Amino acid sequence: MLRRILLAASASGRARKLVTSAPVARGVVARYVAGDTAAEAVAVTGRLRAEGLLVTLDHLGEDTRDARQADAATGEYTALLASLAAAGLTAGGGAEVSVKPTAVGLGLADHGEKTAAENISRICAAARAEGTTVTVDMEDHHHVDATLRIVRALRGEFPDLGCVIQSQLRRSAADAAALATPGSRVRLCKGAYNAPQDVAFTSRAEVDRSYARCLRVLMRGSGYPMLATHDPRLIEIGAAQARLTGRGPDDFEYQMLYGIRPAEQRRLAAEGARMRLYLPYGSDWYGYLVRRLAERPANLAFFARSLVTRR
Ligand code: FDA
Distance 127 CA to ligand 1 centre (A): 26
Residues marked active site are found at 137, 187
Distance 111 CA to ligand 1 centre (A): 32
Q: Please report which residue ranges of the chain form alpha helices under DSSP H.
A: 2-10, 13-21, 26-32, 38-50, 67-86, 112-129, 144-155, 172-179, 204-220, 232-245, 262-270, 286-295, 297-309
Mean pLDDT across the chain, nearest whole number?
92
Whether residue 311 has its Cβ less than 6 Å from ligand 1: no
Could you read off the pLDDT of 38-72 as tens digits, one per residue?
999 999 999 999 999 999 999 998 889 999 999 99
Whether residue 179 has its Cβ less than 6 Å from ligand 1: no
Q: What is the CATH number of the domain that holds 159?
A: 3.20.20.220
In this structure, are 144 and 20 located in the same domain? Answer: no
Distance 190 CA to ligand 1 centre (A): 7
The arithmetic mean of pLDDT across residues 156-181, rounded, is: 97
Q: What pLDDT, on a 0 to 100 scale, did the predictor assign at position 311? A: 33
In this structure, are 22 and 44 located in the same domain? Answer: no
In this structure, are 117 and 150 located in the same domain? Answer: yes
**Residue-number span of the structural domain to which 150 is assigned:** 34-284
In this structure, are 130 and 102 located in the same domain? Answer: yes
In this structure, are 292 and 278 located in the same domain? Answer: no
In this structure, are 53 and 163 located in the same domain? Answer: yes
In this structure, are 85 and 22 located in the same domain? Answer: no
DSSP 22: S
In this structure, are 183 and 47 located in the same domain? Answer: yes
Question: In the chain, how many domains are there?
Answer: 2
In this structure, are 210 and 297 located in the same domain? Answer: no
Residue nearest to atom 30 of ligand 1 (CA): 137
In this structure, are 152 and 301 located in the same domain? Answer: no
In this structure, are 141 and 207 located in the same domain? Answer: yes
The answer to whether residue 292 scores a pLDDT higher than 90 is no
Q: What is the pTM of this model?
A: 0.93
